[in-house]
A and B are shown apart, each in its own frame.
Chain A
Amino acid sequence: MLNRVRSFLEAVLRRKRFEATMSDEIRFHIDTYIEDLVATGVSRSEAERRARLEFGGLESVKEECRASRRLNVADGLRRDIRHACRTFIKNPSFSVIVLLTLGLGIGSTIAIFTVVYGVLLKPLPFPDPERLAQIWGSVPSRKIATTSFTEANFWDMRDLNSTFEEFGALHGASFTLTGLEAPERVTGALVSVGFFRSLGAKPIVGRLFNPGEDDPGATAERALLSHSFWMSRFGGDPAVIGRPITLSGRSSEIIGVLPPGTPWLDAANVFVPFVRRLDADRESWEYTVIGRIKPGITFDAARTDLERVAKDLESQYLTNKGLGVAMTSTASWGPSDQIRRALWTLLVAVGLLLAIACVNVTNLLLTYASSRRQENAMRIALGATRGDIARHRITESLILSFVGAGLGWPVSMALLYTFKSMESVGIPRLSEAQVNGWVFAFAFVAAILVGLLTGAVPALQSPFKNILSAVQQGTRGRLGIPSQDRMRRMLVGVEVALSLILLVGAGLLVRSLTNVLAVERGFQTEGRLHAMVSIPSAYSDERRTQIATDILSQLEKQPDVLSVSTVSMRPLGRGSTGMGIAAAGIDISDADVPWASWRIVSKDYFKTLGLTLLEGRGFTEQDIIGKPFRVVISKRLATRLWGSESPIGRTALLWKGQTQRPGEVIGVVSDMRERGLENDPTFAVYLPAYGNLDSPTLDLAMHVRGTPELFTPTLRSIVNSIDPSLPVSSVRTLEEMVYASVGSRRFIMILIVTFAALALLLSLAGVYGVVQYSLSRRTAEIGLRMALGARSGAVLRLVISQGLRPIWIGIVTGLVACFGCRSL
Chain B
Amino acid sequence: MPDTAALLPGTLDMLILKAISLKPLHGYGVLLRIRQISRNALDIPQGSLYPALYRLEHQRLIVAEWGESENKRKAKYYNLTAAGRRRLREEEASWNRLASAIAAALSTTPKEV
Interface residues in chain A, defined as those with a beta carbon under 8 Å from any beta carbon in chain B:
3-4, 7-8, 21-22, 24-26, 28-29, 31-33, 35, 54-57, 60-61, 64-65, 67-70
Contacts and interface: CB of A to CB of B under 8 A. Distances in A.
A18 to B, nearest CB: 10
A54 B46 contact: yes
A376 B10 CA distance: 37
B69 A32 contact: yes
Contacts of B45: 56
Interface stretch (B15-23, B47-55, B102-110): B47-55
13 contacts: A3-B59, A24-B74, A24-B76, A25-B26, A28-B69, A29-B46, A32-B28, A32-B73, A55-B47, A60-B47, A61-B47, A65-B51, A67-B51
A25 B27 contact: yes
B60 interface: yes
B41 interface: no
Contact of A29 (B27, B48, B55, B57): B27
B111 interface: no
Contacts of A68: 51-52, 54-55, 58
Given A7-B57, A7-B60, A28 B73 contact: yes
Given A55-B46, A69-B58, A21 B51 contact: no
Most buried by A among B28, B73, B74: B28
A24 B75 CA distance: 8
A4 B69 contact: no
B71 A61 contact: no
A29 B58 contact: no
B25 to A, nearest CB: 12
Nearest to B61: A3
Contacts, number: 68
A784 B55 CA distance: 62
B64 to A, nearest CB: 8
Contacts of A67: 51
Contacts of B52: 68
Contacts of B73: 28, 31-32
B17 to A, nearest CB: 15
Contact of B51 (A8, A24, A64, A70): A64
A239 B6 CA distance: 87
Contacts of A70: 58
Contact of B59 (A4, A26, A61): A4
Interface in B22-39: 26-28, 31
A54 B43 CA distance: 11
Contacts of A54: 46
Contact of B58 (A7, A21, A61): A7
A68 B26 CA distance: 18
A33 B69 CA distance: 13
A477 B64 CA distance: 57
Given A56-B45, A69-B58, A28 B51 contact: no
A57 B47 contact: yes
Nearest to B29: A32
A456 B73 CA distance: 53
Contacts of B50: 22, 25-26, 29, 61, 64-65
A28 B75 contact: yes
Q: Which 7 A-B residue pairs are closest in the complex by CB-CB distance?
A: A56-B47, A68-B54, A64-B51, A68-B55, A3-B60, A65-B54, A29-B28
A32 to B, nearest CB: 5
B104 to A, nearest CB: 36
A3 B57 CA distance: 10
A544 to B, nearest CB: 86
Nearest to A11: B58
Given A7-B58, A67-B51, A69-B54, A28 B46 contact: no
Contacts of B28: 28-29, 32-33
Nearest to A64: B51
A277 B106 CA distance: 106
Nearest to B76: A25
Interface in B48-105: 48, 50-52, 54-55, 57-60, 69, 71, 73-76
A31 B73 CA distance: 10
Contacts of B75: 25, 28
Contacts of A25: 26-27, 50, 75-76
Contacts of A21: 76
Nearest to B32: A36
Given A28-B76, A32-B69, 16 more contacts: A4-B60, A7-B60, A24-B74, A25-B26, A25-B50, A28-B73, A28-B75, A29-B28, A29-B50, A32-B73, A33-B46, A64-B47, A64-B50, A65-B50, A68-B55, A69-B58
A56 B26 CA distance: 19
B83 to A, nearest CB: 9
A68 B58 CA distance: 7
Contacts of A29: 26-28, 31, 46, 50
A39 B60 CA distance: 36
B71 A32 contact: yes
Contacts of A56: 45-47
Contacts of A4: 58-60
Which of B47, B74, B75 has the largest number of chain A CB atoms within 10 A?
A: B47
A4 B54 CA distance: 11
Contacts of B60: 3-4, 7
A55 B50 CA distance: 10
Contacts of B57: 7
A56 B75 CA distance: 21
Contacts of B69: 28, 32
Contacts of A65: 50-51, 54
A26 B48 CA distance: 12
Contacts of B31: 29
A347 B26 CA distance: 62
A67 B48 CA distance: 12
Given A21-B76, A60-B47, A28 B54 contact: no
Contacts of B58: 4, 7-8, 68-70
Contacts of A22: 50
B68 to A, nearest CB: 11
Of residues A31, A32, A33, A35, which shows the largest number of chain B Cβ atoms within 10 Å of its Cβ?
A32
A60 B46 CA distance: 12
A65 B57 CA distance: 11
Contacts of A31: 73
Contacts of A55: 46-47
Contacts of A33: 28, 46
A55 B76 CA distance: 18
A32 B27 CA distance: 11
A4 B57 CA distance: 9
Contacts of B27: 25, 28-29
B73 to A, nearest CB: 6
A33 B54 CA distance: 20
Contacts of A35: 71
Nearest to A63: B51
Given A3-B59, A7-B58, A35-B71, A28 B47 contact: no
A29 B26 CA distance: 9
A28 B73 CA distance: 8
B33 to A, nearest CB: 13
